[in-house]
């Protein structure tokens, strides 16, 4: 399956910068896997049959939740593209229900970056692009938001 940006490039247009949703979308799955493995380990150490069964059951349920969150995070990252070309900014989300946002670089008035403390440590954040006469668009939880902003503002 080709990338969305490759399908919509105009003649003479080239991709300058690409980014994606940050891996932080996998955090619920990672935490659930840790809890599931912990419960599984406790079930092996327990000498009481009912505690062992309860831990195994809980581990199984949490494993199912972890698998769901992992697939959901992967699908979100797989179906999200954010690119800067020499002519415009393009952001696409979704697979069947697709939502795209495009803004010509000469219509960009300002680019704002919002990062939490964890976002600064792990290098992710929200980027708001303010356009001249075209409104405002916020791209949430992207990787390397400062590099993304720089690729838009430096021409």
Chain segment 107-130, per-residue pLDDT in tens: 999 999 999 999 999 999 999 999
Determine the Cα–Cα distance for residues 112 and 149; give it in Å rounded to an integer.
Answer: 8
Q: Which residues of 62-71 are buried (b: 16+ CB within 10 A; e: fewer)?
A: bbebbeebbe
Q: State pLDDT tens for residues 23-60.
A: 999 999 999 999 999 999 999 888 888 899 999 999 99
CB burial readout 77-116, b (16+ within 10 A) else e? bebbbbbbbebbbbbbbeeeeeeeeebebeebeebeeebe
């Amino acid at each position: 399956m080709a990338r969305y940006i490759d399908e919509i490039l105009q003649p003479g247009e080239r991709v300058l910068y690409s980014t994606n949703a940050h891996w932080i979308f996998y955090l619920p799955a990672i935490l659930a896997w840790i809890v599931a493995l912990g419960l599984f380990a406790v079930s092996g150490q327990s000498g009481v049959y009912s505690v062992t069964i309860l831990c195994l059951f809980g581990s199984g349920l949490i494993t199912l939740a972890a698998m769901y969150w992992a697939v959901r995070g992967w699908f979100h990252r797989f179906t999200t593209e954010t690119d800067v070309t020499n002519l415009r900014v393009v952001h696409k989300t979704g697979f069947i229900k697709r939502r795209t946002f495009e803004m010509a670089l000469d219509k960009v008035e300002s680019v704002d970056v919002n990062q939490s403390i964890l976002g600064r440590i792990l290098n992710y954040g929200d980027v708001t692009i303010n356009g001249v006469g075209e409104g405002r668009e916020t791209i949430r939880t992207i990787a390397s938001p400062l590099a993304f902003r720089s690729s838009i503002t430096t021409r």
